[in-house]
Amino acid sequence: MTTGDLVEYRSSQSSTLQLGSGTPVTLGGGYKAVAAGFQHSLALKDDGSVWTWGNNQNGQLGVDQPLFRSIPTYVGGGYQSISTGMNLLNGTDVYAVKVDGSLWRWGAAGGNGAPEQIGTGYASVATSGSHVVALKTDGGIWTWGFNLYGQLGDGTTTDRTLSNPYFVGGGFRAIAATGSASIALRTDGSVWSWGVNSSGELGRVSSDICGALACSKVPGQVAGLAGVKELSAAQSHVLALTSDGVLWSWGSNESGQLGNGNLTNSSAPIMVGSGFSQVSAGSPISNKGASYAVKSDTTLWRWGASRWEASASTPVQIGTGFSSVALGGTHLLALKPDGTVWSRAATAMGNSATVLLGSGQRRNWWSMEI
């Protein structure tokens, strides 16, 4: 993504929002990645600095005060990746990895409003708010947190703390976490899963029972997938994107988030379509699932639940000229290759400005330029 100046559009009537509308405020340049939580946002700059804004009730902005921030606030430097939970109850955990491999956290997970180092040798982290899946630079996966549904993959339902993490195995290169399941991508392009399977979120049949729900306490391979390069998971559904642009989905489908034209859950991967380049799964309405994706032609698509339009069970184009998208619990962040970031939040959270969204379409979007 090209770099430039970050500008947030915010309203004086809505200073507590993670996003805003109205007068543009220049906030600096050089951003390269964003992450969306429940009511908070994170941005990572090319220089390794992390910036946050939005709800800070649990210290998820990485600063002790104030309770809300309507413009990006500097957290620290030297980072290479950021991750945050995004559901209503547990969407305030933030994990970040520095270029030296050190792992840091803040928010509800700990840190008392400031980043605290909790490990070394890490590459990335995925968190659901209830459990953590961490990938190390050597390809090994470690897990800790709640384990009621076997989401730690250790063959039990016993919780583990950070001081006693479980080593799942090696040979992995990407990770994702649903509300109570873990998804992992091996270096050979195969996908593996473990944890709760009540909605088919493992993408395979499982025989274990955890707390009266179907589950798998140990990792198992998702059949029928090869060449996967990217994973994204929401509360109870998963998206997998292959290197040739084919998008697959599985799990809960109550809002049409699997994109196959019906509302039936699936415990096996379903092909959504081709030509995709980046994906993001989320739960924007009371844990109802939604899916957003960017195609290689820069068009932006969505399906499933929506705070802004009617639910859709097949992909619907909502814009063009985008490079990536991040769906949070109450808002959406989308990046354009020309250096602009477009953001969207629930109208109940404040006034929004109607602005142009590509190809002559108009939606209640707010623009931030980077």
Confidence of residue 29 (pLDDT cuts 50, 70, 90): low
Has residue 349 got a pLDDT over 70?
no
Confidence label for 21 from pLDDT (cuts 50, 70 and 90): very low
**Predicted local confidence at residue 86, as pLDDT:** 64
Angle at 253 (CA atoms; ends 252, 254), nearest 5 degrees:
105
What mean pLDDT is predicted for residues 245-257?
Answer: 97
The CA distance from 177 to 196, in Å, is 11
Q: What are phi and psi of 348, to 5 degrees?
A: -65, -15
Secondary structure percentages of the chain, helix, strand, coil, to 5: 0, 50, 45
Q: What is the pTM of this model?
A: 0.86
Helix H or strand E segment including 72:
strand 68-76
Give the C-alpha separation, 185 to 203, whole Å: 13
Residue 27 has a pLDDT of 38
Contact by Cβ (8 Å): 153, 165: no
d(CA 233, CA 329): 13
Q: Which two tokens stand for residue 228?
A: 């996967």
Residue written as token pair 């990770």: 175
* pLDDT higher at 26 or 128: 128
For position 53, what pLDDT does the model report? Answer: 82
Per-residue pLDDT averaged across 329-347, rounded? 70
Residue 361, pLDDT score:
33
- Which range (14-23, 87-96, 344-353) has the least confidence? 14-23
Which range in 43-47, 84-88, 273-277 is most confidently predicted, on average pLDDT? Answer: 273-277
Q: For residue 114, report the phi and psi dihedrals to the nearest 5 degrees.
A: -140, 150
pLDDT category at 338 given cuts 50, 70, 90 is low
pLDDT at 6: 38
Q: How far is CA 353 from CA 333, 334, 338, in A?
A: 15, 16, 21
Min mean pLDDT across 3-7, 68-72, 239-243, 289-293 is at 3-7
121 pLDDT higher than 50: yes
Among 153-162, 171-180, 266-275, 330-339, the range scoring the smallest mean pLDDT is: 330-339
Which band of pLDDT confidence, cut at 50, 70 and 90, is reported for residue 316?
A: very high
Tell me, what DSSP letter sits at residue 37?
Answer: -
User: Could you count the other beta carbons within 10 Å of the beta carbon of residue 191?
Assistant: 26
Question: Residue 154's pLDDT is what?
Answer: 98
What are the extents of the domains in the chain? 233-327
pLDDT at 33 > cutoff 90: no
Residue 296 in this model has a pLDDT that exceeds 90: yes
**pLDDT above 90: residue 274:** yes
56-60, 204-208, 355-359, range with the lowest pLDDT: 355-359
pLDDT digits (tens, 9 = 90+) for 188-198: 999 999 999 99
Statement: residue 322 has pLDDT above 90? no
Question: Rounded mean pLDDT of 30-57?
Answer: 84
Query: What burial letters (b/e) apply to 16-39, b meaning 16+ CB within 10 Å?
Result: bbbbbbbeeeebbbbbebbbbbbb
pLDDT given at position 219: 98
